[in-house]
């Protein structure tokens, strides 16, 4: 299935110069949504994964059904100040601005194998921060799976020590 045509490009959102990839047009298409969840689930099979970690907020939409399909637990990675219990946190640079990601300190056991899921790989800063959180807590990062990869931002290079998988790649 060619999902490229279903992803909406919104120029200059949220700031001038950003080509925002809007996946709401994909999510409302039941075949396209199922295709994305199934493809990522398929990629995770056989990797001995204990948990899917989804990055707020669009990583929840994709990651939770993948976890359900794989019959593993789901771990929410949230922006700063939103998780209620004890957290591990990291501040990092975004394609636009700066952000914080947090995980509950008791999200998983040491040695658990975790796949990170998000909608889009841009600079890779968010995903690298999440990898660091997982490793600080003694988890094993299996890799990261995305629907969309913006190749020109070289996120794959930033994550070069880890397996990265994406369904569609944009060159510009
Ligand atoms: P990065 O840390 O640069 O890889 O940015 C990844 C995060 O920012 C993901 O959670 C994306 O949802 C969001 N993001 C960054 N750039 C874009 C973009 N051009 N279109 C849509 N989402 C984006």
Q: What is the pLDDT of residues 7-62, one digit of tens each?
A: 999 999 999 999 999 999 999 999 999 999 999 999 999 999 999 999 999 999 99
What would the 3-class secondary structure string for 35-74 be? HHHHHHHHHHCCCCCCEEEEECCHHHHHHHHHHHHHCCEE
pTM confidence score: 0.97
- How far apart CA 94 and CA 51 sit, in angstroms, is 25
121 Cα–ligand 1 center, Å? 6
* Active-site choice (58, 78, 102, 149): 58
Is residue 155 in contact with ligand 1, taking CB distance under 6 Å? yes
20 lines ligand 1 (CB under 6 A): yes
pLDDT level of residue 73 (50, 70, 90 thresholds): very high
**136 catalytic residue (yes or no):** no
Whole-number pLDDT of residue 94: 78
CA distance 23 to 169: 14
Is 95 a residue of the active site? yes
Catalytic residue chosen out of the listed positions 56, 88, 95, 151: 95
How far is Cα of residue 122 from the mean position of the Cα atoms in its chain? 11
Domains of the chain (ranges, CATH numbers): 48-170 (3.40.50.2020)
Furthest-apart CA atoms within the chain: distance in Å = 43
Q: Where are the beta strands (DSSP E) in the chain?
A: 8-11, 19-22, 51-55, 73-79, 87-93, 98-104, 113-121, 140-150, 164-170
Confirm or reject: Cβ of 158 under 6 Å from ligand 1: no
pLDDT confidence of residue 96: 66
């Amino acid at each position: 299935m060619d999902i490229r045509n279903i992803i909406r490009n919104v120029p200059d959102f949220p700031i001038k110069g950003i080509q925002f990839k809007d996946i709401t047009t994909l999510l409302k298409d039941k075949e396209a949504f199922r295709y994305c969840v199934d493809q990522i689930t398929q990629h995770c099979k056989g990797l001995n994964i204990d948990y899917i970690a989804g990055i707020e907020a669009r990583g929840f939409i994709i990651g939770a059904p993948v976890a359900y399909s794989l019959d593993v637990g789901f771990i929410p990675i949230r922006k700063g100040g939103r998780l209620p219990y004890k957290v591990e946190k990291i501040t990092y640079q975004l394609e636009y601005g700066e952000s914080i990601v947090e995980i509950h300190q008791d999200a998983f056991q040491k040695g658990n194998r975790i796949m990170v899921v998000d909608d889009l790989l841009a600079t890779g800063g968010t995903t690298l921060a999440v990898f660091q959180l997982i490793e600080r807590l003694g988890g094993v990062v299996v890799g990261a799976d995305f629907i969309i990869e913006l190749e020109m931002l070289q996120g794959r290079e930033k994550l070069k020590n880890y397996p990265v998988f994406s369904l569609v790649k944009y060159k510009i």
